[in-house]
Amino acid sequence: MRLVGADDPDAENAAGILEIDVLRRFPFGIDDLAGQAGLNRYNALAFVYLLSLRGERACFRLVTLGKVMQGRYSHEALRRVRGANGAGRLEEARVVYSQRPASRKPAA
């Protein structure tokens, strides 16, 4: 038996993982992600939507900070956003994001 960290490449094969510092693995809120990628918030959200990062366990996690649930992004998410931006996919991301279905609000 050996201990592995959550960021260890062999972590997928571990029998169990106790993640103590989730903010170390998912350090970025959307504004932080945007800033690190050199984008504004809207463009960062457009890339998150285009790349489906919220559906990727390696990229996104909902974290409870005090009484608030907050979406947090990993370094892998930042790498993917930078890669897509560097590949010139910003306009594609903006178009796809602007045409997304409106979120449905529950009846009051």
Query: Which segment of 56-65, 82-91, 95-104 scores lowest on mean pLDDT?
Result: 95-104
Beta carbons of 30 and 41 less than 8 angstroms apart: yes
- Supply the Cα-derived Rg of the chain in whole angstroms: 16
pTM score, whole prediction:
0.76
Find the angle CA(41)-CA(46)-CA(50) to the nearest 5 degrees. Answer: 150
For 85-95, the pLDDT digits (tens) are 999 999 999 99
CA distance 14 to 39: 36
The residue among 35 and 107 whose pLDDT is bigger is: 35
Taking residues 60-75, report their average pLDDT.
92
- pLDDT value for 14: 64
The larger pLDDT score, comparing residue 13 to residue 100, is at 100
pLDDT tier, 23 (very low <50, low <70, confident <90, very high otherwise): confident
Q: What is the pLDDT of residue 8?
A: 67
Per-residue pLDDT tens over the stretch 40-57: 999 999 999 999 999 999
Q: What is the mean pLDDT of residues 64-92?
A: 95
Provide the 3-class DSSP secondary structure of residue 72: strand
DSSP-assigned beta bridge partners for residue 63? 70
